Amino acid sequence: MGLVFNGSNTRVDCGSGSSIDNPFATGGTVTAWVLLTAYGEFNVGRVMDKSSDASVSDGWAFFVAGAVSGDDNCLRFTHGRAVSANTWAAPTNSVTLGPIYHLAVTFDKSTDTNVPSLYVNGEVQSITTPVAGSGAYADDSAQTLSIGNRSASADRSFDGFIEDVRVYNVILTAEQIMTMFQAQGHDNLLNGLQARWLLNELSPGVSATEASSIIDMSINKNVGTPVNSPFYESSFLSKTRRILRNR
């Protein structure tokens, strides 16, 4: 089970609890399963976002990008900095419309020269820097973490399906991220887990607003609030598991 976001104004707001503030402070990881029907508003639909403005000056954004400057049809990660934000991109066509993908980023912002690692289906990607920023990395603790959009203006809506969203305050290894991909949600990667939203509270076709809260499976209980009625859909992961078993 997961949630379908409409590419217009839907999202899940997960607050700004201390356990999900600054996950990349000394090294962190965020992951999600997605299926795109389009690249979202302005071709930069958010998988996760923890910032207050479109330029991501005071937080970070984990998103898919269509036809924008630099690499197109790809996974991107932006983190705010004191002068201007940095954006890193996976190769063109690394994320296309239709297939289901497991996406991940690992990053340690404790040193200004560090760069993230981007993963698609368990494989680390080569990266480019379509936007080079400068200055110390931003503190995101005042911002709301949102799934499927940004919370401040709701103008970066994801267009498609998202499930099993996670935040860790440790950098998962390449082997662990491959294990997560291959296990299709049945791994036991608990070390450093700060939040895990399966997005599976109700039956397919039901609006998430009827759930009233989106459950965090971690010990931290960062409860999410659905906004503008994203709706539940059956998981695509069972089909993906069958494909992997038959390889």
pLDDT of 163 over the 90 cut: yes
Rounded CA-CA distance 205/230 in Å is 10
Rounded CA-CA distance 198/205 in Å is 16
| Residue pair 199/1 in contact by the 8 Å Cβ criterion | yes
pLDDT digits (tens, 9 = 90+) for 115-136: 999 999 999 999 999 888 889 9
Of 18-32, 33-47, 162-176, 205-219, where does mean pLDDT reach its minimum? 205-219
Q: pTM of this prediction?
A: 0.94
Rounded CA-CA distance 159/232 in Å is 14
Q: Tell me, what DSSP letter sits at residue 184?
A: T
Name the pLDDT band for 10 (thresholds 50, 70, 90).
very high
Distance, first Cα to last Cα, the chain: 24
pLDDT of 69 over the 80 cut: no
pLDDT of 245 over the 60 cut: no
Q: Is 102 in a helix, a strand, or coil?
A: strand
| Residue pair 176/200 in contact by the 8 Å Cβ criterion | no
Name the pLDDT band for 238 (thresholds 50, 70, 90).
low
Rounded CA-CA distance 204/66 in Å is 28
Rounded CA-CA distance 106/170 in Å is 8
What is the reported pLDDT for 70? Answer: 65
| Residue pair 164/198 in contact by the 8 Å Cβ criterion | yes
What is the reported pLDDT for 243? Answer: 39
Name the pLDDT band for 152 (thresholds 50, 70, 90).
confident
What does the pLDDT average to over 125-153?
92
What is the reported pLDDT for 209? Answer: 85
What does the pLDDT average to over 212-237?
92
39: CB partners within 8 A, 6+ apart: 45, 64, 65, 66, 67, 73, 97, 159
| CA neighbor of 164 nearest in space, from 188, 143, 181, 185 | 185
| Angle value at C-alpha 53, between 49 and 54, nearest 5 degrees | 80
Instruction: Quote the mean pLDDT of the chain.
Output: 92
